[in-house]
Each structure stands twice: as structure tokens, then as C-alpha cells.
């Protein structure tokens, strides 16, 4: 099967897998480096890595052979990731707006997809503490610094779902449609081959 078809099929199946949520959550500092580990339950010649970002959608990262050879990768792979292996990828300099989301890998074993554990990367929120300016004390008293806890009056932010509800609904449908399309193509090729052999036998 063509590499592009395999990637599309894995993406569709990955959507169904991530609907149940991540196996592991990791909080990452802005600009920090983070290792993501993933190993499908069955070893195979090629493992493909994907991510589903909070701000956009699904992205193919890289496919790596068992010998560590990079078979295909995204164009900006070297800008975001360090050279990885089949079971580990490293985000060089984490950016919350660019890299927050779900990361995972998959292996195609025969006609079955095997997925490893999914990791969710979350950007750490910075604690915002500001100091109040010094005021001139009355009656020649010594000046004291007072700190202002500005987070005290802030309302807690509502928790946002990891993915939009529409994606969770449409992902299984898209996966099913993709599989039906693949079966239709295989059936059409098979039937054309049979009719060609039958015509040859008549001639």
C-alpha cells in the first residue's frame, strides 16, 4: 500500500483512539525540552508519529524504520523536534501556542493498526505576582514593601475540552467513511482484474 494512503488511514484511526483521552499528561515549561515516549504493543518495521494540536488539528510528524532511518517527515521537523527514534521523539523548545496537544504513534501490522500510549503536552501557566509601588510613609516612618496578590480576585478559568465536540463526533464518521472508501477501491481493482482475466480466456 502507498505510504500516503497508510498515513491517511492512520490519521483516521488515530482520531478514534484519541476520543477516549490521553494515557499520560505532562506539564511543560515554555521554551523547555520534553521527551515523548510511545511504543506500539507489537514491533514492526515502520512506526509513524502523529499529534493532534489543541489550536489546529491532526499533523503527521515522522515515520521511522526499525534501524532508526527516517523514511518521511514533515518539512519543519528539524525546527521543532530533535532527531528521535522509533520509540521516542523530543520537542526541542516547547511553545504552548504551537505544541500543546496529544502525541502518539502507530504501527501497521498486516492489515491491523496497533497504537502506543498517547501523551498530552500542556503548557505551564505562569504565576503572576506584582509588587505595589513604595509610598511615602507619614511621620518619617520607614518605607515598607507591600505585595499585591492579584490572582486572588481573578475568576477561575473554565476548563476547556481537549478537542472540539464536533471533532469527537465527526472523527469516527470520517474513520468509517475512509475504511469504506478503501474497501470500495480494493473491490473495484479486484473486480476489474477478474473481468480482464475472463476476457483473456474468451479470446
The residue from 66, 101, 124 where one domain ends is 124
The model's confidence at residue 114, banded by pLDDT at 50, 70 and 90, is confident
The pLDDT value given to residue 190: 82
Residues 194 and 94 in one domain: no
Residue 25 counted as domain residue: yes
Tell whether 98 and 174 lie within a shared domain. no
Distance CA 6, CA 48 (A): 9
Does 101 share its domain with 199?
Answer: no
125: nearest Cα among 160, 90, 77: 160
In a domain, 151, yes or no: no
CA distance 22 to 190: 39
Answer whether residue 157 is part of any domain. no
Number of domains in the chain: 2
pLDDT band for position 112 (cuts 50, 70, 90):
confident
In this prediction the pTM is: 0.55
Distance CA 54, CA 123 (A): 11
Residue 174 DSSP SS3: helix
Give domain status of residue 160, yes or no.
no
- Could you tell me if residue 87 is inside a domain? yes
Place of cell 521543532: 80
| Residue 194 within a domain | yes
Shared domain for 20 and 93, answered yes or no, is: yes
CA distance 47 to 63: 6
Tell me: do 94 and 8 sit in the same domain. Answer: yes
**Tens digits of per-residue pLDDT, 170-189?**
777 777 888 888 888 888 88
- CATH number for 53: 2.60.40.10
Residues 114, 180: one domain? no
Look at residue 53 in the predicted model and tell me its pLDDT. Answer: 87
Residues 11 and 109 in one domain: yes
What is the span of the domain harbouring residue 112?
3-124
Asked if residue 93 and residue 10 are part of one domain, the reply reads yes
pLDDT of residue 160 exceeding 90, the answer is no
Is position 117 within any domain? yes
The mean predicted confidence, pLDDT, of the chain is: 77
Amino acid at each position: 500500500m502507498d505510504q500516503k494512503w497508510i498515513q491517511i488511514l492512520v490519521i483516521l484511526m488515530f482520531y478514534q483512539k484519541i476520543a477516549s483521552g490521553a494515557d499520560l499528561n505532562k506539564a511543560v515549561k515554555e521554551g523547555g525540552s520534553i521527551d515523548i515516549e510511545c511504543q506500539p504493543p507489537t514491533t514492526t518495521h515502520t512506526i509513524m508519529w502523529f499529534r493532534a494540536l489543541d489550536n489546529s488539528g491532526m499533523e503527521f510528524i515522522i515515520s521511522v524504520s526499525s534501524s532508526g532511518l527516517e523514511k518521511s517527515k514533515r518539512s519543519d521537523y528539524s525546527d521543532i523536534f530533535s532527531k528521535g527514534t522509533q520509540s521516542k521523539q523530543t520537542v526541542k523548545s516547547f511553545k504552548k501556542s504551537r505544541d500543546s496537544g496529544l502525541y502518539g504513534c502507530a504501527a501497521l501490522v498486516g492489515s491491523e493498526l496497533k497504537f502506543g500510549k498517547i501523551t498530552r503536552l500542556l503548557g505551564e501557566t505562569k504565576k503572576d505576582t506584582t509588587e505595589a509601588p513604595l509610598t511615602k510613609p507619614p511621620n518619617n516612618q520607614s518605607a515598607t514593601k507591600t505585595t499585591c496578590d492579584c490572582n486572588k480576585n481573578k475568576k477561575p478559568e473554565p476548563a476547556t475540552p481537549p478537542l472540539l465536540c464536533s471533532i469527537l463526533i465527526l472523527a469516527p464518521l470520517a474513520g468509517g467513511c475512509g475504511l469504506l472508501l478503501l474497501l470500495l477501491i480494493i473491490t473495484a481493482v479486484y473486480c476489474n482484474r477478474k473481468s480482464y482475466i475472463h476476457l483473456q480466456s474468451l479470446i
